[in-house]
Amino acid sequence: MLGTNKIKKIHFIGVGGAGMSGIAEILLNLNFQVSGSDLLESKITKRLESLGLVFFNIHEGENLSEVDLVVFSSAIKQDNPEIIEAKKNNIKIIKRAEMLAELTNLKKSILIAGSHGKTTTTCIAAHIFKENNLDPTYIIGGKVSSFESNANLGDGKHLFAEADESDGSFLLFNPDKAIITGIDNDHLETYQGNIENLKKAFVDFIKKVKSTVFILDLEKKWIKDLSFGTKKIITYGFSSDADYKIIHYSQNQKGSSFVVKDKKSDLEHLFEIGIHGQHNILNSLAAILIALDEGIKLPGIRKALSSFTQVERRFEIISENVFGKKITLVDDYGHHPSELKATIETIKEIWPDKKVVMAFQPHRYSRTKALFHDFVNILSKIDNLILMEIYPASELPIKNYSSEDLFCEVKRNNKNVVLVNGIEEAFEEFKNFSDQKYIFLTQGAGNTSTLALRFK
């Protein structure tokens, strides 16, 4: 599609989104004419404009003048005026993932899939390759503070991107290599509410990978009896059966260190990185393994890890002096019960003597409904909980599954919970805990980052 002379001007509906903006930037760097619309003007859209994007701060049919191809994000509904206009004028319309699949065909593609950790793993891998002068192309759903943006068109042969299972679009890809960071009960509405269907989709994804797949060892049990021909399946994790096993692990406020044992060679390797949490160490190991598999030597990997900085909103330490009281504030994107659990466990390990004050914003009514009891269970264990209104992400409310319903259930087991409405109310509530014995946490995928920045 991109190789033909027919496609010259491409329009993105929802261009300001993390996934969309990266693809738009790559296409601008490939010298395509790119326009895009979004209801919110942002730093991202301004950056794209500086690269040549024609930006519209409104969705309307007139934006599609002389457009050859329209790309839309999963958040865009079919009644969007630009979708309607494109159909009316027989302009080709494709999903974001279809365009990403087109781009992955241009390079040696390494895709990162899994229910959790895709962004962090992709960031670390891209950083290792970049620091070892391999100049990779990458399109990432988040950003490392050392990267100018979440996308880059490199001169090297490698391309890194995330493969999204939430809408099944990861099955559009045929990557050269892949990482699967684990599978959890999220986005099951795409899979008829059945996690077995989700696992089957991941098996189908593995079958589409051309050579090597690195997979979290915990997931090996549901693929062990399947045949993948000559494809290599390499496992990693904390278990004794893993091909690459983490045997020693420790962390403090500055970061983490861990020792990995190669089962085949029986050799042990020490690594250090400035991020936190066992889940992120697993993500780091996956990135290390793909680097080794592509010929990067251990000294180069270690040096790159030593310069890796925080991924935005992935256990990001925003401040260590909130309210001038030496209170640490952590901001985290996690919005699934498993992710909340991992964040809390990490905080308790690093700051065992601190009490947690968490502001949590549930993400989507459908997820709140599907995982309601799991959310109640984990939130009931939080020392002090500030529960915010659900971030709808374009969804309509679902009866009996509002933040108020969640609040009522949590309060049965946890009296230290309050329900607030909006960023300012949450910020004011934090003022009731201005003591060094607390550690602050803003948690969620909605606009809790705005709350975190409020403390700056």
DSSP annotation of 280: H
Give yes or no: 119 in active site. Answer: yes
- Contact 108/270 with Cβ under 8 angstroms? no
Amino acid symbol at 313: R
Give yes or no: 261 in active site. Answer: no
Nearest to 16 by CA among 34, 33, 41: 41
Amino acid symbol at 363: H
Catalytic residue among 25, 162, 312, 316: 162
Q: How far apart are CA 384 and CA 403, in angstroms?
A: 16
Position of tokens 């790309």?
A: 71
Give yes or no: 381 in active site. Answer: no
| Cβ-proximal residues to 340 (8 Å cutoff; 6+ apart), any chain | 334, 360, 375, 378, 379, 443
Nearest to 140 by CA among 19, 284, 313, 27: 19
Catalytic residue among 82, 102, 104, 118: 118
Catalytic residue among 119, 120, 343, 442: 119
Nearest to 272 by CA among 124, 118, 149, 112: 124
Amino acid symbol at 228: F
Q: How far apart are CA 315 and CA 391, in angstroms?
A: 20
- Contact 441/332 with Cβ under 8 angstroms? yes
Nearest to 208 by CA among 166, 232, 238, 175: 175
Q: Any idea which residues carry the catalytic annotation? A: 118-119, 162
